[in-house]
Chain A
């Protein structure tokens, strides 16, 4: 059997294992290991298994993941996110749909410090769902807003997904972060626009809240300051060049810890909860990465990515059609899998193709990240939707999907704008570097 046929069988085996409930990282690791055993030799596969796990686990580059997750966890556990939400509510809560807008805004703020989809959704869900319920917001709209706001965690830097892709494709983490700022803000703005347009048409979906005095508005800002300072320090310091990404994660965690301790906002119990959650999340993420690397080795040795890239690059159609094909694949992949899982898995196949077609690596990365992230809110596998359902079991999954559906237009508009105007992603990095 030809290695390429083996590669296709390997992909099928991996998908089957995933559908049968094997953790995604394990399925990639297992399929990669099995494939290498057959295509190379069992001895070679065993050797790669051990040396690669050691190399991934002890990688300085990957150490950014636990450090950034720790920062987000400490901020969340010390209640700083609640302050952020509260302030946004004071400012826009009196408008129709204002609290849903608040959720988007607070998600944006939290996304700015948290690297993960599910974590942003879980955090915002815990805070915002009870608030929106209190003000008789439509259940579908509330749930949809939280789920869709959560997707910003991946798009707005820092983002574990972007870090992993940068490492995988040898791009600068810092530049990729900067490149995704404007697209992230654009996406958040489009979400806000969607909320207000929908609520203007059907005010009963998002009844107006009480109006706050200017003084109340101002005082509410004090709850935001620490998050903003932290964001400024980490992102600003990273961009200004005070520290490397790993150091930024460490400094961010440390400062979050100091702020929380000084303001007496972090109990020992909450601190250990933060550490526990960090360890779990990062073990999960790094296992995904290690699995994807192993599977990537298998694909590499079959040379499938090489042939696929050569085939697609040789198609007698303009590059834009190939890009459309890639986008469709990412839409499907994102719909079926977790964003990080699918991106790490597919990068070895499509990234070389995209660069060969002459697309800017940074722009391309931001584009596919947005497309895949959309998968977190689409059936059949919508991680964010399930998280929302997990936090508020009284809202059925179908209702959450319904609530989310109105935001898909915003996503599509964002993707089209990004394709038409690559400058949205490229402008800031070009300006700053």
Chain B
């Protein structure tokens, strides 16, 4: 269990780090494009590439955001219950969250494969963009993994408390 949690933290930290690089690249690309526009001609596919960087930025920060409990929650009601009931409710909630994001990750993998098979190209650059969809699927899978750890922890909470 502890071992699994360590893997989840490490993997999500790595993705989070890449998300940071994507964020800074996004800023630099937009600024560079503004400068280019003034001194020469702009890079026409800026919007497209920024969209891709934004996808990495978001998808790769989801898991670590979950680990750090930064998603907005209302804990008004649950915090008043006894610990064991809390753990029980947590188990249900984490089970549902894990399920929906595992499904999302799986479907996004399929979607990427579908785009690859169709030969879909991006609108401006006309290059295949399915690899980015795979990356988003990976981000979602890592979020599901982080949630799974939370689920296991709350199950242990029900048993131990």
Contacts and interface: CB of A to CB of B under 8 A. Distances in A.
A binds B: yes
Interface of A: 17-26, 29-30, 33, 46-47, 49-51, 53-54, 57-60, 62-63, 66-67, 70, 243, 246-247, 249-251, 253-254, 272, 275-276, 278-284, 286-288, 336-338, 341, 380-381, 383
B72 A30 contact: no
A47 B108 CA distance: 9
Nearest to B79: A21
Nearest to B93: A22
B37 to A, nearest CB: 9
Nearest to B75: A21
Contacts of B73: 18, 21-24
13 contacts: A19-B78, A29-B100, A30-B97, A46-B107, A50-B110, A53-B104, A63-B54, A70-B27, A247-B31, A279-B23, A281-B70, A284-B72, A287-B71
B57 interface: yes
A225 B62 CA distance: 36
A338 B78 CA distance: 17
Interface core residue of A51, A60, A63, A253 (most chain B CB under 10 Å) = A63
A34 B80 CA distance: 28
Given A250-B30, A288-B72, A280 B64 contact: yes
A254 B23 CA distance: 12
B92 A246 contact: no
Contacts of A336: 74
Contact of A57 (B33, B75, B96, B136): B136
B100 to A, nearest CB: 5
B23 A275 contact: yes
A337 B89 CA distance: 20
B138 interface: no
Interface string B83-105: 00000011011001100110110
A337 B70 contact: no
B61 interface: yes
B24 interface: yes
B112 to A, nearest CB: 9
B30 A50 contact: no
Contacts of A29: 100
Contacts of B132: 58
A275 B47 contact: no
Contacts of A281: 70
Nearest to B101: A26
B76 A380 contact: yes
A381 B76 contact: yes
* Secondary structure of the B contact surface, majority rule: helix
Given A53-B140, A282-B61, 17 more contacts: A21-B75, A21-B89, A23-B71, A24-B73, A26-B96, A26-B101, A46-B107, A51-B111, A58-B51, A249-B27, A276-B20, A279-B16, A279-B20, A279-B61, A280-B70, A281-B70, A381-B76
Contacts of B137: 50
Given A251-B31, A280-B61, A49 B74 contact: no
A46 B106 CA distance: 9
B51 A381 contact: no
A246 B23 CA distance: 12
A253 B73 CA distance: 28
Contacts of A59: 51, 54
B148 interface: no
Given A30-B100, A57-B59, A279-B19, A66 B54 contact: yes
Interface in B111-159: 111, 132-133, 136-137, 140
Given A250-B27, A280-B61, A47 B100 contact: no
A283 B93 contact: no
B30 A246 contact: yes
Given A19-B74, A22-B96, A50-B111, A63 B26 contact: yes
Contacts of B76: 19, 380-381
Contacts of B33: 247
A63 B55 CA distance: 9
Nearest to A278: B23
B62 A287 contact: yes
B71 A58 contact: no
Contact of B100 (A18, A33, A54, A246): A33
Contacts of A383: 72
Contacts of B1: none
A286 B54 CA distance: 10
A46 B55 CA distance: 19
B100 A21 contact: no
B50 interface: yes
Contact of B20 (A250, A275, A286, A338): A275
Contact of A60 (B20, B47, B59): B47
Nearest to B16: A279
Nearest to A51: B111
B34 interface: yes
A17 B31 contact: no
A381 B54 CA distance: 31
Contact of B30 (A25, A247, A338): A247
A58 B52 contact: yes
Contact of A54 (B27, B57, B136): B136
Nearest to B23: A66
Given A250-B27, A279-B65, A54 B78 contact: no
B77 interface: yes
